[in-house]
Chain A
Amino acid sequence: MITRRDLIKHGALGAGLVGLPQMALATAPHGLDAMLLDTRFVADLPEGYADVPVLRFAGDVTSVWVDQLDRRWRQPGHVLGGITGSDALFVLEVLAVQHGRRVVSRTPLGDARGDGITAVSWIIAPHHPSVIV
């Protein structure tokens, strides 16, 4: 489990934002539109860390995909940040690519667990012209 101190130590989301391309910033001048937390690794964000809706799941992306991202990613825009396991990020990245989006930043947060899964902070932003506002 990642603590609030770990988040600050790794500069998790801040480090990610450095890599955000200009086109993504242009579509989301205030940064992220939502945050995704994998509760296997992090239960919550420090207060005020990201003033956006926070979605939570525990390793299985299904409900987040069905209830939120599937519909949202059919529309232009939407910059999503996350702290998840590397396995969940793989799933999200494949889905993102199919919907014209890219992982524009990824920062491993520490070493892999015994099962080989690493916590990663990342940002997925629109990339294809069809989804850039």
Chain B
Amino acid sequence: MSVLPPDLDAAGFAPFLADLRGAVGPDWVWSADDDLFPYRDSFSPVWNTGEERHASAAVAPADVEQVQAVIRIARRHRVPLHPVSTGKNFGYGGPSPNVHGSAVLDLKRMDRVLALDGKRNFVLVEPGVSYFDLYRAIQDAGLRLMVDCPDPGWGSPVGNSLERGVGYTMPHFRDHFGAHCGMEVVLPDGEVMRTGMGAMPGADTWQEYPYGFGPDPAGLFAQGNFGVVTKMGFRLLPLPEYYRSCMITVPRRRDFVALVEHVNYLSDSGLVGEVEYGSPLSVLMGNADFLALATQVGGPSDAAMDAAAAAANLHSWRVELQFLGPEATTLANWHHARDRILGAIPGAQGFEGDHFPLPATEAQLNNDTQPWTTSIKRRRSLGVPSLGAWKIVRDDGHVGFFPVLPRSGEAVFQVQRVLGDAMKEFPSLPPFFNALTMPLFWHTHTFQMVFAPSIKHDDPAHNAITHAAMKKCVAVAAEHGWGDYRAAPIYQDEVSATYSFNNHILRRFHEQLKDAIDPDGIIAPGRGGVWPRRFRA
């Protein structure tokens, strides 16, 4: 299958490739089907259908100067580029482009850790540096710093943060874009720009003050298409001295509302790291009667759920708490959390789990000594990159819908009901939303709940159901003010359209900017739902 860029025929494509080869070397430009296979979205629900978007070529520059050269070549030939750092954005499109026929700008060769400071606690990296690379660089340098990494950890800090990815340690580090500090960007005309203090020659504070002076455009480059980020700084958490895990359970369904409020207080006060909500009742989901109750239209009553919990002699909810800091303060923080919650919620119980000094041993990272069946993935909780998450991926992969939700128990119950009912249109899919579906507390100040139906490369009918369910989820959620935070290219227009305040003024503002600096759409047209005039027409 031969794919060509938009508005370009084979005769025009050949000189584009020749120019790329001249800029980066012949070994770093690809256009053959076999070579482009890795740039497909292997988790795509439109795999092998007419909706799948393929690259026409891929090019891997070695440095910023080559990035500039590639952008100028693309501008001359009017070929859209789709930049990727390491291309591991699985579930959200992987390395596949928004526009069929784009050339993937693969930044994997730019893999240097440019600065790493264990006294001022920051790092400056290129896009091809993975979380594994950064973790190893810190270990090799003997520094006591913690990386807040996603799971799996094979992606890059630059790529993950630009997708507004998340981690699992302390609140302000879990928001990876929020933890960035300074970036270098090659603009659509090939100019190099630095944000924040990086704009001031001689400043030694690029990774310590993100704003500089005047408007800060850094946000335009996250899920955006206004330039190619070639360097990015991040704040790092000093390696805490001690780790402590504990759990609190509450008996009744409605107790969840108060439990969330208390945990919000603990988190916003900086007293606790990532928490894992769960329900002891999940062991009952194999029982047909309980499953029917938990998935019934309109949701079950509190009384019915409480009766089921009482009959099973189980509490309704639990939260696993993780504390990081000096040993004494982790203990004091746990005692404070326990006393606060147990004093406010009748019947609540507290349990103490593993605790140990950091860095953790291999056995402690394996997390098999917790005195209860835990949902905590210890490696990611301690900033140690892992590939173990793949053990939970079913079939050939999955898509992902993660709406941004109010951080309250009432909101969780509402999402359970609304999206649970909406997804009954797709009975072959697992009941992602039911009376036990838990919020994820990954972003610093908000909840998300996950919808991630699988895809199968050899089952287009199954994929079509997944595709339709994703679209319906986006639409129904938006009717209630729950917006997706991140999406694959095939869903970005639909998600963008839900952010429609004042006749889509946010999108129109982005379009004005795009038209001004990249009217031909050289950098990732369509990314984030932002199209330049050329493609809008």
Contact = CB atoms under 8 A, between A and B. Distances in A.
Interface of A: 59-62, 65-66, 70, 87-88, 90-91, 94-95, 97-98, 115-116, 128-130
Nearest to B386: A62
- The residue in A70, A95, A97, A98 that gathers the most chain B C-beta atoms within 10 A of its C-beta is A98
Contacts of A91: 152, 154, 387, 390
A61 B391 CA distance: 10
Contacts of B390: 60-61, 87-88, 90-91
A60 B27 contact: no
A91 B385 CA distance: 14
Contacts of B120: none
Given A94-B154, A130-B27, A62 B388 contact: yes
B88 interface: yes
Contacts, number: 44
Contacts of A88: 390
A59 B390 CA distance: 9
Contacts of B136: 66, 70
Contacts of B132: 65-66, 70
A59 B154 contact: no
A44 B92 CA distance: 38
A87 B393 contact: yes
Contacts of B154: 91, 94-95
A62 B42 CA distance: 21
B63 interface: no
Given A65-B132, A65-B387, A90-B390, A116 B395 contact: yes
- The residue in B42, B108, B154 that gathers the most chain A C-beta atoms within 10 A of its C-beta is B154
Contact of A62 (B87, B387, B393, B394): B387
A130 B136 CA distance: 23
B38 interface: yes
A87 B27 contact: no
A106 B189 CA distance: 44
Interface string B367-395: 00000000000010000011110110111
- The residue in B27, B42, B386, B387 that gathers the most chain A C-beta atoms within 10 A of its C-beta is B387
Contacts of A129: 27
Interface residues of B, number: 21
23 contacts: A60-B386, A60-B387, A60-B390, A60-B391, A61-B387, A62-B388, A65-B387, A66-B385, A70-B132, A70-B136, A87-B390, A87-B391, A87-B393, A90-B42, A90-B390, A94-B38, A94-B88, A97-B38, A98-B86, A116-B394, A116-B395, A129-B27, A130-B27
B95 to A, nearest CB: 10
Contacts of A70: 132, 136
A62 B387 CA distance: 5
Contacts of B394: 115-116
B162 to A, nearest CB: 18
Interface in B135-171: 136, 152, 154
A98 B393 contact: no
A98 B86 CA distance: 8
Interface string B99-136: 00000000010000000000000000000000010001
B58 to A, nearest CB: 11
B53 to A, nearest CB: 19
Contacts of A60: 386-388, 390-391
Contact of A128 (B27, B87, B391, B395): B27
A126 B115 CA distance: 31
Contacts of A94: 38, 88, 154
B391 A59 contact: yes
Contacts of A115: 394
Contacts of B108: 98
A28 B152 CA distance: 32
Nearest to A129: B27
A97 B385 CA distance: 20
A116 B393 CA distance: 10
A59 B152 CA distance: 14
Contacts of A90: 42, 390
A95 B88 CA distance: 10
Contacts of B88: 94
